[in-house]
Amino acid sequence: MPLPRIGLAVIGAGRMGRSHAQLIAAGAPELRIVAIGDVDGRAARHLADEIGAAAFADPLAAVSAPGVDAVLVAVSSVHHREVVEAAASAGRDILCEKPLALDLADTDAILAAVDRAGVRLQVGFMRRHDPDHVRAHARIVAGELGRLLLFTSRQYDVDPPPPAVLDPRTGGGIMLDMGTHEFDSARFLMGSEITEVQATGSVQLFPEVAASDDVDTAVVNLKFASGAIGSIELSRRVAFGEDVRTEVHGTAASAFIGGLPIASGSAIGWEGGIRWDASPPSTPRFAAAYTDQARAFARSIQCDEPVSPSGADGRAAFLVAAAADRAIRGGGTVRVAELESDRPAERLRPSPAVRRPATSGSART
């Protein structure tokens, strides 16, 4: 007997919301988009007409619309808390883009609201559902790499970020906007918590970020509870194209995810050579990951199972990002546990007051 399709409201009709909706409509049969919500009513209507859903200029009205079982939150990060709390109060399961929030207080408030309501919260770290990362993770869990020693990754963007993303007051800064993907990937693949970070950064591309005490290029060194170490490189822009690559090295073998020229795929290397598990070249980078994360979210609801990555995973990545941000500004080694004990109530950088969820035109992952 086929499982019932999950009625979904997509909150945010900007770049990320539109991309999510299009991928889900084309490749996630477990989900049926029934509502699109955005304060930009015209954008909501345009996307709703394309998908075949109802449009709402009030995002919170879309959350409680008839036929909605779950909510995908793709507004700017600064507005996540209000939408997630409304969805939780309405009894909707939630798939929320990363980061959950721009400070620990809002992050914990989101987790508390979800816990009170007894609903699911999946965080949009889509690499956990990316076929290349899934294959590499399976090899690591099977023990093919032996004892893990070293993690390295790079994330270089090609498109200049929209102003609201570049502004740390609304986008969270380079560590929350970009780094959280790498921090979650590191935890996922290494199977160990990040305990310490060192970081350095500079302003080389977008001078305006200096006014907000942020950087556009950064390197972060990691230490894991297991004793393994790692490094992450971040850049807001490189000329040749988006470059996302990850390596995990162990005592018996190495795993490689991604490669040049901007290819997807994963590989395993050991004595005697490297075997490449390439994804179909016709699949855009991470398109399958976004589709598969939505399908996994739906199946968790249908089968009454936990989601992954969870809200706790989102919180863990936030703490590492906050530690890295502190390391860039203060230098030296920062223990992630310090962020927990400090319980900072403020955002990584001051945020403007907001009243309603804004359009997600500048939201990105």
For the stretch 106-116, pLDDT in tens is 999 999 999 99
> What ranges do the domains of the chain cover?
6-126+301-309+354-362, 127-281+311-342
Type and span of the H or E element at 83: helix 80-89
CA pair distance 139, 217, nearest whole angstrom = 32
- Above 60 in pLDDT, residue 364? no
**pLDDT band (50, 70, 90) for residue 264:** low
Q: Supply 352's token pair.
A: 């403007």
**pLDDT band (50, 70, 90) for residue 57:** very high
DSSP conformation class of 359: P
**pLDDT band (50, 70, 90) for residue 150:** very high
What integer pLDDT is reported at residue 353 of this predicted model?
Answer: 37
Contact 365, 181 (CB under 8 A): yes
What integer pLDDT is reported at residue 162 of this predicted model?
Answer: 85
CA pair distance 110, 35, nearest whole angstrom = 22
Q: Exposed, middle or buried by CB within 10 Å (0-12, 13-18, 19+), for 116?
A: exposed
CA pair distance 26, 14, nearest whole angstrom = 18
What integer pLDDT is reported at residue 352 of this predicted model?
Answer: 37
- C-alpha distances (whole Å) from 346 to each of 84, 312, 329 are 20, 20, 16
Type and span of the H or E element at 67: none
Residue 340 identity (one-letter amino acid) = E
Return the sign of the alpha-carbon dihedral for residues 24, 25, 27, 28: positive
**pLDDT band (50, 70, 90) for residue 261:** very low
- Mean pLDDT across 153-163: 89
CA pair distance 88, 72, nearest whole angstrom = 12
What integer pLDDT is reported at residue 280 of this predicted model?
Answer: 57
CA pair distance 75, 43, nearest whole angstrom = 13
- Above 70 in pLDDT, residue 49? yes
- Mean pLDDT across 150-161: 92
What integer pLDDT is reported at residue 365 of this predicted model?
Answer: 62
DSSP conformation class of 353: -
Q: Supply 238's token pair.
A: 């490189």
- Above 70 in pLDDT, residue 304? yes
Return the SS3 of 201.
Answer: strand
Q: CATH 3.40.50.720: does it fit domain 6-126+301-309+354-362?
A: yes
Q: Supply 78's token pair.
A: 């600064």
Q: Given its phi and psi angles, is residue 64 left (phi above 0), alpha (psi -120 to 50 degrees) or beta?
A: alpha
CA pair distance 275, 268, nearest whole angstrom = 5
What integer pLDDT is reported at residue 285 of this predicted model?
Answer: 75
Contact 63, 87 (CB under 8 A): yes
Nearest CA to 129 out of 119, 138, 121 is that of 138
Rounded to a whole number of angstroms, the CA Rg of the chain reads 20
What integer pLDDT is reported at residue 289 of this predicted model?
Answer: 95
- Mean pLDDT across 55-84: 97
Specify the CATH number of the domain 127-281+311-342. 3.30.360.10
Q: Supply 222's token pair.
A: 């990691």
